[in-house]
Amino acid sequence: MENPIQNGIRTNHDRDTWMNGVNGGSVNREISLDKGKGLLANMANGGGHSEMDVDSEPQGGPVGALAATNYSSMDDLPDEIQHITADILPLSTIISRLAQFSHGKLQEQIMSLASKPVPQTAANGNANYQSNGAEDTSPESLEKKVALLKFIQDLHTRWVKALVIAEWSKKADKVSRLIDIRAHLATKVEEFNQVFFDLVTTKRDLHWAKVPSPDLKTALEILSSGEVTWMPEFGYLKPPPITPEETEAWIDNLNTMLSVRLTLDEYEKTPFAFRNYTIASGRVTFRVEGEFEVDLTIGDEDFDKQFWFIDFRFLFRPAPKELTETLRIALEARVNEVLGTDGLAGCYKYLHEFVLTQKITEFWRQAVELSRERWVDTLGVERLNRAMAIHYWVNRPHSQGSKSWIILGVNSGNGPDGVPDPKSPSRLSLRWFRDNKEVKDFDIPFDVDAISAEDLLTAVIAKHVEYLLGSIYSKLLSKPRFAQRHARLSLDISKDSPSDSSLTVQLFDKENATVRVDSMTGAFTLLPISPYIQDGQKRLNSSPNPAEDGPITLEHLRAYYTTKDISNRARSIGWTVLRNPITTDELKNMVHSVSQSREAFQSAWLRRVGWAPQWYVVMTMSLGGDQWWLVELSAQHKPGPQGGTRVKTFTKIPMASAQLSLTDNFFENLTVYVSGMVSQITDLRELHSKKMAYNSKISEVYNSSLPAEIRLPTIFVRLSDMLRPQSGEKRTISASWAKDFVPIHFLGVQSPSDEQDIAAASAASQPRRDTRLKVIAEARLTVTNRSKFQLLKGNVDHDVAFDPRLGQFSLKLRADMGTPLVALLAARIRSLERLVEFVEGIRRAGKDVVPVSATLREVVFTYGGSGDDAVPAAATMPGPARQPPRAWRVRLDISKEDGVEISLEKDNPHLRVLDYLKVAANSPGLESLPSWLLWSLPLFRGIQKIEETWRAPGMKNEGLFQSVHENLNWVHLRFTLSPRRVLNLDIKCHNRKGKNVWHVTRSDANRNPVETNPGAPRRTDEFDRVLAKVWTASGEGIKSLGSSVVADPEKGIERLLAMTEHATRSLVGTPGPGLPFAGNEAPGPAAGPSAPQQGQPQSQQASAAAAAARYAQHRQQQLQQQLQQQQQQQQQQQQQNQNQVHQRGAGAAPLGSNSKAPLVVLD
């Protein structure tokens, strides 16, 4: 036998090494003397002494005889008690397995508790609904606590048993011997009982082996004579044989009597089920469809006598074709007895109940075969009193603790008052218990004529499957997501094959999940097979009530599947799925703010690559419907102590169900649509912060730049608000050139170009380029007078175009996503306004100002190409013939935000006032700049000619000409002659009778350097004498005023300057009156005619040049100080105007009278 080690304790029942004894000790047994055996010596476990040693020599005498006797006695000893080793495990194994069992059961209990439904308040996401510390007494919580308590009690019982076993293991030796003795005694008792049973069986079998005592007398007589004389003879006569004619007549007579009896006498007594009968061959055959046929006959002409049983046949399938002989004999005796007492009604009732019992038996037989073959481990069949029960889905994974079964029995057919109804006999009835509850109203057809237990089970299971899938379908269909047809849902029920019944639910896009129920095991099956689907299948099969929990489980599966599917698809086209960055309460408040549904929901957070980090697209999924959100979060990571929230802005994205197709086109449309929403939100926020009026509405005009599925509102802003400076001063337009309402249309998004990415990747020293998306919008400005913009055609800039036919400016705006377009639009409109003002100025200037190009970045034009005053001036001035005036090109850079830059050509006469021109170009009257350049050109051309003419006298130290421009409308001319003679002329612009003219006068006429008394009368000097012709000149464009002259800007000023220069130059080289040098005047040539010395002309020339330079520097400093003072005055005036706006309301303050800004004055 095996001798394993038991529980790590060494046993002392080793039959391989020890002989029979107690605990391995020696045997001390006294042999009875009546058996003729001597006394055995002590033996130590069968060996160990020298007489048992095979190497020792045999000893003679009594000792040797005793040894021989010992060997003989050991052969007669009984067998050793069998040592029990089967099913004995080490204690370590038992404890290890118990620990594994406890761990596995604990995990199952945790999963079971997690799958149980939670209270309604907690299911809605309110995790703190028991924050007051009160005990949770909801039914769900109590059910969990009871399950957990039972589980702990069971484990406690098992571990207590293990503890008891561990304590007993300390006495393993004694327990092992006790087990062996107990098993040995039990074996002996069983052998005794078996021997007693064999004796009784033998005695009973010998009864049939007994031979009765032989009747030798009778046997001898019969064998010898062939008869028994002592037995009486009755003398019976044999009846004559019946002929066929007699037989036929007898049968016809019998048929007639049966027909008459059933028609007349038994008509009222015949049960309703026996109305279908046939009479033939001397018998009546009653046929009950689906049950039986019985043949009866009569044995007497007396109608009061009973019918007699002849034959019986079953009419249902399957059934035996013939009855067994035993059953036939018993049935015949019972039927004849019933016919004798109750007649045909009793016969029918007995046979009807007999057949019902047989049908139940047949159902039971087939069910038992199914449970042993195809439906093994899934059915439980139980035979009841004239009924049977079939438990199906015995080991189903879900709905643990609840059972489903059917009971097939007999319904008595009695009425409500318990009175039998002859027309409603007893029948087979079916009771259905579904999940421990009886279903009262159900329609499960089962055929009692063609008996099939499998068909009955299939029909019942089909109803159960229909209930499970139909319950889930009904609950899903009642939810808004499916009631409003936002998702696909279909139910297909098969009455014949429950496994083919299915519930199809849309997961997302074109993906569906099909739910089926296995007809044999009752387990749910979800298709198609995938890790996500299998996880949902596991949760559905672990649910305690799938009919109630199925919708939630499928919704969780859909949410999980959708999130994973979106993550996989979106990553390839620039979208990423992120974790939820806010709390559940914040998300719940956001979702519930626009929806009446309070269904539990799941969320998926997405962001497009290139977006600002605070913008998200959120998809919330629930049975109440899927919703898409645009969410902007604040910069803080956690809610503040005052209960703040991270959600700064959120808005619902209108998303039709037809758009929920996760294709590349869907995500492209989502990118465009959401980017447009972000751009408009930032723009509206910017407009609101700047207190600009705006309006937004969906345009009825189709936007061809966006996909057909996307429609975004158009934002309308006021042009006057766009042109308002940021300081708050209200800027008004004297002549409105465009309509006040400007629509802003969103056109789409633009990703960074691949070329920029490649260049950024290849340049290791350069930082990575910004990959943020660019939003593109279009603003349209409609001009009020298209005739004013004839100079503009086509593209004004690369992103600004003008349509002369419609009279519209189209401004394309591009900015990073999340950056307001309003500031960019305002800058573009201001640039466009400057362009419009320059274009309007060019148009007003006439044909002599010719536009070359006009864009939003620069305006180029020429002026002065056809001056009409050049011809008369050339005719009166001495010297060589003059060239016709040339056209001067002017370039205005209006692309910079800080102001307009003006560029002139080399040798342009206006270069001397370039600084003033820049100031004028950035002033409100900038549209007058082209006209001013045109009509001031003769003046500056004349000054330029004077400088050229006086360059030669200056080289000879005979005279010096200087011009100082106080502003654009005031020029100071200074002629310095030797010795120390100075002529100062002022040329100012005045308006006479609505026309601008140049007024030329001497600025030193009221003061004489020689006179010490300022009030003394002025003396006439040599300049008055030479200028007398000038002051008295007349002609086209010149009008004398006595001591001054007024000249026309176009036809007279250049000629007047030529005459003045010619008259003044006539004094060059002439001796002066010798007047002393005036200290407050700029020095002229130092040499006087009265004291000529050698080498003195060069010193006089240097002194004059130095004096002129000092004077020019002094005047430049004065001009800069004046400009600074003017700027400070303007800033102070703007601040005063702003304060007045805050105090009085909107309105612009008028320009102060003390302003000395170098503005162009034409009126």
Cβ-Cβ contacts under 8 Å for 798 (sequence gap 6 or more): none
What distance in Å separates the CA atoms of residue 1092 and residue 764, rounded to the nearest whole number?
77
One domain, residues 400 and 322 = no
Q: What is the mean pLDDT of residues 1123-1150?
A: 48
The percent of the chain in helix, strand and coil, each rounded to the nearest 5, is 40, 20, 40
Q: Which of 147-161, 181-195, 817-831, 1115-1129 has the lowest mean pLDDT?
A: 1115-1129
One domain, residues 409 and 261 = no
N-to-C CA span, the chain: 136
Structural contact between residues 1050 and 873, judged by C-beta atoms closer than 8 angstroms: no
**Radius of gyration for the chain, computed over Cα atoms and rounded to the nearest angstrom:** 64
SS3 410: strand
One domain, residues 274 and 412 = no
Structural contact between residues 422 and 413, judged by C-beta atoms closer than 8 angstroms: no
SS3 601: strand
Task: Decide which of 410, 433, 466 is a domain's last residue.
Answer: 466
One domain, residues 754 and 802 = yes
Structural contact between residues 475 and 550, judged by C-beta atoms closer than 8 angstroms: yes
The answer to whether residue 17 sits within a structural domain is no
SS3 947: helix
Structural contact between residues 140 and 116, judged by C-beta atoms closer than 8 angstroms: yes
Phi, psi of 616 (to 5 degrees): -140, 155
* Closest of 627, 631, 629, 628 to residue 613, by C-alpha: 631
Phi, psi of 374 (to 5 degrees): -70, -35
What distance in Å separates the CA atoms of residue 294 and residue 352, rounded to the nearest whole number?
11
* Closest of 663, 668, 662 to residue 507, by C-alpha: 662
Reported as a single tens digit per residue, the pLDDT across 561-584 is 888 888 888 888 888 889 888 888
Task: Decide which of 448, 466, 484 is a domain's last residue.
Answer: 466
One domain, residues 256 and 390 = no
One domain, residues 913 and 951 = yes
The answer to whether residue 944 sits within a structural domain is yes
Amino acid at site 1029:
K
One domain, residues 801 and 729 = yes
The answer, yes or no, to whether residue 17 has pLDDT greater than 90, is no
Determine the number of helices (DSSP H) and then strands (DSSP E) in the chain.
24, 35
One domain, residues 307 and 438 = no
Q: Which of 176-185, 293-302, 538-547, 709-718 has the lowest mean pLDDT?
A: 709-718
pLDDT at 352: 94
Reported as a single tens digit per residue, the pLDDT across 1053-1084 is 888 888 988 888 888 878 766 544 333 344 33
The answer to whether residue 622 sits within a structural domain is no
Amino acid at site 1103:
S
Q: Which of 159-168, 408-417, 485-494, 946-955 has the lowest mean pLDDT?
A: 408-417
Look at phi and psi of residue 61 and say left if phi exceeds 0, alpha if psi is from -120 to 50, else beta: left
Reported as a single tens digit per residue, the pLDDT across 262-292 is 998 888 889 989 999 999 999 999 999 999 9
Cβ-Cβ contacts under 8 Å for 82 (sequence gap 6 or more): 1, 180, 183, 184, 187
pLDDT at 302: 87
What distance in Å separates the CA atoms of residue 862 and residue 850, rounded to the nearest whole number?
5
pLDDT at 992: 82
Cβ-Cβ contacts under 8 Å for 40 (sequence gap 6 or more): 27, 29, 30, 31, 69, 70, 73
Q: At what angle do helices 664-689 and 822-845 cross, to 10 degrees?
A: 70
Q: Which of 213-227, 779-793, 983-997 has the lowest mean pLDDT?
A: 779-793
One domain, residues 404 and 343 = no
Residue ranges in 124-208 assigned as alpha helix (H): 139-168, 172-206
pLDDT at 1017: 52
- The whole-angstrom distance between residue 950's C-alpha and the CA centroid of its chain comes to 85
Reported as a single tens digit per residue, the pLDDT across 102-144 is 999 999 999 998 888 877 655 555 545 454 556 778 888 898 9
Cβ-Cβ contacts under 8 Å for 882 (sequence gap 6 or more): 870, 873, 874
Task: Decide which of 466, 497, 521 is a domain's last residue.
Answer: 466
User: If you search the block for the tokens 């009594």, which residue do you land on?
Assistant: 62
The answer to whether residue 208 sits within a structural domain is no
DSSP string computed for 1094-1133: TTHHHHHHHHHHHHHHHHHHHHHHHHHHHHHHHHHHHHHH
Is the overall model pTM greater than 0.75, yes or no?
A: no
Higher-confidence position of 405 and 226: 405
pLDDT at 121: 59
The answer, yes or no, to whether residue 185 has pLDDT greater than 80, is yes
Supply 843's token pair. 């148009």
Reported as a single tens digit per residue, the pLDDT across 237-266 is 888 898 999 999 999 999 999 999 999 888
Residue 1092 pLDDT level (bands cut at 50, 70, 90): very low
The answer to whether residue 289 sits within a structural domain is yes
Higher-confidence position of 368 and 1: 368
Give the residue numbers spanning the domain of 1060: 900-1008+1020-1086+1104-1138+1155-1163
pLDDT at 567: 85
Q: What are 862's strand-pairing partners?
A: 850, 889
The answer, yes or no, to whether residue 226 has pLDDT greater than 80, is yes
Structural contact between residues 872 and 1055, judged by C-beta atoms closer than 8 angstroms: yes
* Closest of 689, 648, 612, 1055 to residue 873, by C-alpha: 1055
Q: What is the mean pLDDT of residues 295-307?
A: 91
One domain, residues 926 and 1064 = yes
The answer to whether residue 589 sits within a structural domain is no
The answer to whether residue 936 sits within a structural domain is yes
What distance in Å separates the CA atoms of residue 820 and residue 818, rounded to the nearest whole number?
6
Domain total of the chain: 5
Residue ranges in 315-400 assigned as alpha helix (H): 325-372
Per-chain mean pLDDT for the chain? 78
Reported as a single tens digit per residue, the pLDDT across 1014-1032 is 454 555 678 888 888 888 8
The answer to whether residue 379 sits within a structural domain is yes
Supply 316's token pair. 């249902």
DSSP string computed for 508-554: ETTEEEEEEE-TTT--EEEES--HHHHHHHHHHHT-S-HHHHHHHHH
User: If you search the block for the tokens 């049966």, which residue do you land on?
Assistant: 258
pLDDT at 393: 93
SS3 970: strand
What distance in Å separates the CA atoms of residue 674 and residue 403, rounded to the nearest whole number?
53
Q: Respond yes or no on whether the N-terminal peptide bond of residue 397 is cis (omega within 30° of 0).
A: no
pLDDT at 596: 76
One domain, residues 690 and 811 = yes
Structural contact between residues 919 and 1158, judged by C-beta atoms closer than 8 angstroms: yes
Q: What is the mean pLDDT of residues 1089-1112?
A: 46
Higher-confidence position of 673 and 711: 673
One domain, residues 795 and 919 = no
What distance in Å separates the CA atoms of residue 888 and residue 770, rounded to the nearest whole number?
44
